[in-house]
Amino acid sequence: MIEQQRILATAIPGPRSQELQARKSAAVASGVGTGLPVYVTEGAGGIIRDVDGNQLIDLGSGIAVTTVGNGNQRVVDAVTEQIARFTHTCFMVTPYEPYLGVCEKLNQLTPGDHEKRSALFNSGAEAVENAVKIARHATGRQAVVVFEHGYHGRTNLTMGMTAKNMPYKHRFGPFAPEVYRVPMAYPYRWAGGPERCAEEALRTVTDMIHAQVGEENTAAVVIEPIQGEGGFIVPPEGFLPGLAEYCREHGIVFVADEVQSGFCRTGDWFASDHEGVVPDLITTAKGIAGGMPLAGVTGRADLMDAVHGGGLGGTYGGNPVACAAALASIESMEVDDLAGRARSIGKILGDRLGSLAEKHPEIGEVRGRGAMMAMELVTDPATKEPAAALAGAVNKGCHERGVVTLTCGTYGNVFRFLPPLSIGDDLLHEAMDVLEESMGAALA
Ligand SMILES: Cc1ncc(COP(=O)(O)O)c(C=O)c1O
């Protein structure tokens, strides 16, 4: 395992990475962007090593994927063993046991003790598409309700479900029909103030569905229990349970998109667990399989089993190597109590960001849960004008100092933290020191 130490061997990106980036420009479509063009050779724990010998502290986990950490021994062993046995048969042709194991685990770990079924896919977007297929098929209804600031992927349907135009949707339309967008309960920016946000947002959302779509036409309401790309927006207490209850009353399938927030990231197995919300369907991906591409839809057996044989699937869905990685990742989460670790990471990040916010009024809000934390930057706390340029400058400063950080948000002004749960406290504090320094420099 590489040493858990930040090392700046060259400027970032270093000369070798710059050479590779020139090759990228000549070979890779420019639509595929890279946020921090250091070319990686190894990763372990909380460190990523690049071709120039730099070692960066990882606060991104490849966008919430390597939750159990790169180089997790259980994952490495399970994948190595599975690769040596067979890499693919296609579950729809000749099945294999690891697929069953992952579905059983998903059925067991997701919220609710009702009878469940699961189906496996390759990406978060594919999982969301399939949740919509299942909800439409099971209800015989077509409309899908999604939220402002929501992000669900880059396929045609999930682009249509995603809120933000640039870069996700711009000039990629037309999008799939029967997708309706309603306001998100966003306490920091709720016009009536955070205290009234849950009640008012719930009323607005249900009124809009009733008046503009009709409950009897609505197949599904799809929501991220903590919004990811849209800005780590945490709905106020009561909003999600109220929404789930409204859906239950009207036979609308309540879908929790936990692609980013699931698998211990927020300090519970799933973000829905926090308020005891039991979704009808739940989509998972990212953290499920230690970096291997795998996604799932899990939910009520009556809904999942409504679809005719052959109606769900895909050549690679539930690939055996990805399933082996998932079983090993889940074992790590259970044995090493990674939900507990996410809570202690959340405490460290929350404390450090809280003290930083006391120094800098440009930090309008610190929010999040567990190891899914963020700070929203504004030019002035009174107007809450989004400070995207400042977020960009701090991000760049962190990169140059050897910390992998990410921004997000509809206005590009949210700084998010998604460390692998295997990161040590020392590295986390060091990364926060770097953040402080970068923030100071950007504001100087
Ligand atoms: C909540 C949510 N849903 C869906 C997706 C799409 O997942 P993928 O990129 O694996 O298709 C993402 C990706 O960031 C996500 O955060």
Q: Is 123 in the pocket of ligand 1 (CB under 6 A)?
A: yes
Both tokens of 129, joined, read: 């598409």
Select from 155, 258, 260, 294 the residue to mutate for testing ligand 1; criterion: most ligand atoms less than 8 Å from CB. 260
Strands (E), 25-125: 40-44, 47-50, 55-58, 116-121
Residue 398's nearest CA partner among 57, 67, 16 is: 57
Q: Is 288 in the pocket of ligand 1 (CB under 6 A)?
A: no
The CA 131 to ligand 1 mean position distance, Å, reads: 13
89-125 residue pLDDT tens = 999 999 999 999 999 999 999 999 999 999 999 999 9
Neighbours of 355 (CB within 10 A): 12
Both tokens of 139, joined, read: 């209800």
The CA 227 to ligand 1 mean position distance, Å, reads: 11
Q: Is 128 in the pocket of ligand 1 (CB under 6 A)?
A: yes
Task: Report which DSSP code applies to 11.
Answer: S
Phi, psi (degrees; rounded to nearest 5) at 169: -120, -20
Q: d(Cα 94, Cα 19) in Å, to the nearest integer?
A: 44
**Burial (0-12, 13-18, 19+ Cβ within 10 Å), 183:** middle
Q: State the amino acid at position 94 in one-letter form.
A: T
Q: d(Cα 175, Cα 155) in Å, to the nearest integer?
A: 10
Q: d(Cα 139, Cα 306) in Å, to the nearest integer?
A: 9
Q: Which atom of ligand 1 is nearest to the CA of 258?
A: 1
13-59 residue pLDDT tens = 999 999 999 999 999 999 999 999 999 999 999 999 999 999 999 99
Q: Which atom of ligand 1 is nearest to the CA of 228?
A: 16
Task: Give the closest residue (by CA) to ligand 1 atom 7.
Answer: 124
Q: Which atom of ligand 1 is nearest to the CA of 261?
A: 1
Select from 130, 146, 152 the residue to mutate for testing ligand 1; criterion: most ligand atoms less than 8 Å from CB. 152
Model pLDDT, residue 1 = 78
The CA 154 to ligand 1 mean position distance, Å, reads: 8
Ramachandran category for residue 32: left, alpha or beta (phi over 0 → left; psi -120 to 50 → alpha): beta
The pairs formed by 191-196 with CB atoms below 8 angstroms and a separation of 24 or more are: 194/236
Q: Report the share of the chain in percent with pLDDT over 90.
A: 100
The CA 220 to ligand 1 mean position distance, Å, reads: 18
User: What letters, b where the CB count within 10 A reaches 16 and e where it falls short, cover 43-69?
Assistant: bbbbbbbbbbebbbbbbbbbbbbbbbb
The CA 423 to ligand 1 mean position distance, Å, reads: 23
Query: What are residue 406's DSSP bridge partners?
Result: 416
Q: What is the mean pLDDT of the chain?
A: 98
Select from 32, 66, 151, 406 the residue to mutate for testing ligand 1; criterion: most ligand atoms less than 8 Å from CB. 151
Q: d(Cα 359, Cα 362) in Å, to the nearest integer?
A: 9
Residue 333's nearest CA partner among 270, 279, 260 is: 270
Q: d(Cα 406, Cα 419) in Å, to the nearest integer?
A: 11
* Residue 385: band (very low, low, confident or very high) from pLDDT cuts 50, 70, 90: very high
Helix (H) or strand (E) holding 150: none
Q: State the average pLDDT over residues 407-426.
A: 97
Q: Which atom of ligand 1 is nearest to the CA of 295?
A: 10
Strands (E), 244-401: 253-257, 281-284, 295-300, 363-369, 372-377
Q: Is 153 in the pocket of ligand 1 (CB under 6 A)?
A: yes
Q: State the amino acid at position 185 in one-letter form.
A: A
Select from 286, 294, 407, 410 the residue to mutate for testing ligand 1; criterion: most ligand atoms less than 8 Å from CB. 286
Does the predicted TM-score (pTM) go above 0.75? yes
Q: Is 152 in the pocket of ligand 1 (CB under 6 A)?
A: yes
Task: Report which DSSP code applies to 444.
Answer: -
**Burial (0-12, 13-18, 19+ Cβ within 10 Å), 341:** buried
